[in-house]
DNA sequence: CACGCGTGGGG
DNA sequence: TCCCCAAGCGT
């Protein structure tokens, strides 16, 4: 790479950022805790979605100590609807590490910060450069896209080796001064101008040194392998209820919607009928079901699974029987408080519909 | 290194 | 309606 190209990217990008940077709540100061929380929320998640969550989260847990001392239920609740829930479980765990095992401060060296759950190469670079002014790359999807175009890199950006290559490129281009601004400028450029489709090249501050623009291949880059299609699954969610009580299920600590409260959910084997599954389950577990009512169905798409969910109401004769360990009786009034993913809220909507 | 892990928005 | 995504990480 020529010295001229490096210089152009540095100066043009920083100048552009000075004029065009977005006014975002986590940019009000350089508090490492705020930067950290914002970076975790922003993983695979759009800025507009994150903003209200960030504001609420900071009111609830203004410092890392507040977060560490908060009950897990409250922390998970604050993340409700944001998705990728392992992020918040890791965040909470890391806060406890910092407060109870460390000195109560976010580590400012790469080796230590990478030991925290939920902080990988990208997030470490973002926090260290933005909050601690260290010259460390923060290569996310935006930066990969910008650099794959600037240098016409046709390798699959999903591969690990390509990302390493990008990191060393960014490292070479980064200025000594304002590394945090430089990283954020790259991300803002990727988010607002160097977009995945129909990029705004005519507005781009680094168009003059962009190889993809020169070759007219900005729409073809970056190269990214296609994800495989989601698995289709038929599910049943059940409202087991008796008087003002219903049964909630705490999901396993690992896997889909890990650790979240919701409704007992069953997968229907192909060719089976949903009521057959529920009836069999009740019989085997000596659950005193009085009747089964199909309330309706809805679709829910995860990144890698597609659920068709049938909602069933089961009236129970009494509460005097043993529940599976992950199930608990909850008050109906607390339904909305006790269910922490959008897929359950869809079930409530279906339930409230008239039959 | 491939896979699992949510959700809502835009073209 | 459909498809692509958006500031990744842990295993």
Q: State phi, psi for A83 to the nearest 5 degrees.
A: 85, 175
- Is the pTM higher than 0.95? no
| Of residues A233, A238, A335, A339, the one with CA closest to residue A282 | A238
- Nearest residue, CA→C1' of B2: A159
Q: What is the pLDDT of residue A338?
A: 64
pLDDT tens readout for residues A142-170: 999 999 999 999 999 988 899 999 999 99
Q: What is the pLDDT of residue A349?
A: 84
- For residue A8, what are the contacts with CB-CB under 8 A and spacing of at least 6? A206, A208, A209
| A162's tokens | 């390509």
Distance in angstroms, CA of A3 to C1' of B7? 43
Over pLDDT 70: what percentage of chain A? 99
- Nearest residue, CA→C1' of B11: A197
Mean pLDDT by 10 residues, chain A (355 residues): 95 96 94 97 94 96 98 93 94 97 96 96 96 96 95 91 93 95 95 93 95 94 87 93 94 89 91 89 94 92 90 94 93 79 86 65
Q: For tokens 């409202």, what's the residue?
A: A239
* Set A4, A39, A154, A315: catalytic member: A39
CA A81 to chain centre: 10
Q: What is the pLDDT of residue A248?
A: 94
What gap in Å lies between CA A175 and CA A179, rounded to an integer? 6
Q: Is the CB of A141 under 7 A from strand C?
A: yes
Which nucleotides of chain C are near protein (any atom < 7 Å from a CB)?
Answer: 4-10
Q: Is the CB of A221 under 7 A from strand C?
A: no
**β-strand partners of A109:** none
- Nearest residue, CA→C1' of B5: A84
Element spanning A265, H or E = strand A265-267
| A317's tokens | 């004769």
Q: What is the pLDDT of residue A322?
A: 93
Distance in angstroms, CA of A217 to C1' of B1? 29
Which nucleotides of chain B are near protein (any atom < 7 Å from a CB)?
Answer: 1-9, 11
Element spanning A33, H or E = helix A32-42
Other residues' Cβ atoms within 10 Å of the Cβ of residue A313: 16
Q: What is the pLDDT of residue A177?
A: 93
Residues 94-123 of A with CB under 7 A from strand C: 116-123
Q: What is the pLDDT of residue A227?
A: 82
What gap in Å lies between CA A88 and CA A146, rounded to an integer? 29
Nucleotide of closest approach to A27 (CA, C1'): C7
Known catalytic residue: A39?
yes
Contact by Cβ (8 Å): A139, A121: yes
User: What does DSSP assign to residue A228?
Assistant: P
What gap in Å lies between CA A289 and CA A215, rounded to an integer? 68
Q: State phi, psi for A231 to the nearest 5 degrees.
A: -75, 135
What gap in Å lies between CA A131 and CA A32, rounded to an integer? 5
Distance in angstroms, CA of A177 to C1' of C1? 48
Distance in angstroms, CA of A117 to C1' of C10? 9
Distance in angstroms, CA of A153 to C1' of B9? 28
- For residue A244, what are the contacts with CB-CB under 8 A and spacing of at least 6? A331, A332, A333
Q: Is the CB of A244 under 7 A from strand C?
A: no
| Of residues A55, A35, A190, the one with CA closest to residue A126 | A35
What gap in Å lies between CA A227 and CA A301, rounded to an integer? 15
Distance in angstroms, CA of A256 to C1' of C6? 20
* Mean pLDDT score of chain A: 93
Q: Is the CB of A232 under 7 A from strand C?
A: no
């Amino acid at each position: 790479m020529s010295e001229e190209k490096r210089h152009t990217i540095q100066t043009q990008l920083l100048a552009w950022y000075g004029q065009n940077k977005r006014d975002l709540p986590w940019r009000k100061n350089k508090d490492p805790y705020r930067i950290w929380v914002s970076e975790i929320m922003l993983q695979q998640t759009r800025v507009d979605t994150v903003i209200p969550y960030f504001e609420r989260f900071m009111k609830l847990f203004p410092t890392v100590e507040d977060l560490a001392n908060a009950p897990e239920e409250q922390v998970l609740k604050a993340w409700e609807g944001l998705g990728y829930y392992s992020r918040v479980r890791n965040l909470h765990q890391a806060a406890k590490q910092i407060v109870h095992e460390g000195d109560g401060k976010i580590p400012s060296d790469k080796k230590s910060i990478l030991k925290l759950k939920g902080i990988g190469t990208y997030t470490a670079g973002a926090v260290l450069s933005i909050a601690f002014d260290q010259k460390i790359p923060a290569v996310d999807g935006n930066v990969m896209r910008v650099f794959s175009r600037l240098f016409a890199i046709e390798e699959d950006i999903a591969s690990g080796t390509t990302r390493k290559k990008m990191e060393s490129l960014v490292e070479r281009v980064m200025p000594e001064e304002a590394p945090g601004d430089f990283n954020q400028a790259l991300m803002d450029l990727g988010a607002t101008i160097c977009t995945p489709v129909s990029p705004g090249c005519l507005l781009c501050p680094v168009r003059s040194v962009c190889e993809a623009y020169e070759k007219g291949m900005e729409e073809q880059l970056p190269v990214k392998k296609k994800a495989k299609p989601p698995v289709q699954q038929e599910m049943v969610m059940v409202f087991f209820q008796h008087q003002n009580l219903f049964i909630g299920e705490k999901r396993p600590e690992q896997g889909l919607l890990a650790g979240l409260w919701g409704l007992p959910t069953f997968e229907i084997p192909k060719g089976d009928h949903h009521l057959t599954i529920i009836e069999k389950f009740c019989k085997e577990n000596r659950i005193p079901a009085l009747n089964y009512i199909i309330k309706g169905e809805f679709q829910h798409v995860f990144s890698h699974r597609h659920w068709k969910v049938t909602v069933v109401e089961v009236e129970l004769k009494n509460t005097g029987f043993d529940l599976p360990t992950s199930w608990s009786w909850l008050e109906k009034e607390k339904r909305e408080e006790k269910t922490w993913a959008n897929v359950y809220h869809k079930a409530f909507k279906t339930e409230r519909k008239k039959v």
